[in-house]
Amino acid sequence: MKIYTKTGDKGKTRVFGGMIADKDDIRVECNGILDETACDIGVLRTQLSTDHEWQTKLYQIQIDLMDMMSHVATHSSMRDKNTVNRPVDGPKFCEQWIDEMMDEMDGPHDYFILPGGNLVSAQCHVIRARMRTAERRLISLHKVDPVEEFILKYINRLSDLFFALSRYELFKAGYTEEKLRPFIMRFDKK
């Protein structure tokens, strides 16, 4: 089987269920962003030792993203006809991991921080920002064709998770976060 179909030469692509879509279709856009995110997580994993405590969970997130891409690629009218894997409770998975890290860190988080510190933390921020983009585009798709609720929730939690991972990485490495300003800003005139 050849990997090239030549369908894309005219700006078209085939999505799950056999439907043909334009390359700039919102469904294709969403899957492209989810694919980019899985790649970014792959880059993050290469920056960690093979026995790093995050490896297994990051691997699972990559698998979950691929499964979510199958859902997103499938028009809602076709979902009953095609069975695709559904990740287990992604939001709960993220919340538990976030809570574990935050319990270990001291003090509340009530300020904006600048991404950076070290390569792993910065890469977590890249993934966080990519998740926010995916979330915005998935909402656009949801307005045209319903996206399953578990996907919207999971993607939202994943952006929170990668923010927490970026902070936790700096905490474990003994770095100080670069604080920009508190969340609540006052614009009182004096």
Tens of pLDDT, residue by residue over 133-170, are 999 999 999 999 999 889 999 999 999 999 999 999 99
Distance (Å, whole) CA 138 – CA 34 = 10
Q: Which numeric CATH code is attached to 7-182?
A: 1.20.1200.10
Contact 64, 90 (CB under 8 A): yes
Contact 112, 181 (CB under 8 A): yes
pLDDT(190) > 90? no
pTM of the predicted protein model: 0.84
pLDDT number for residue 87:
66
> At 21, phi and psi to the nearest 5?
-130, 155
Predicted confidence band of residue 20 (pLDDT cuts 50, 70, 90): low
Is 62 strand, coil or helix?
helix
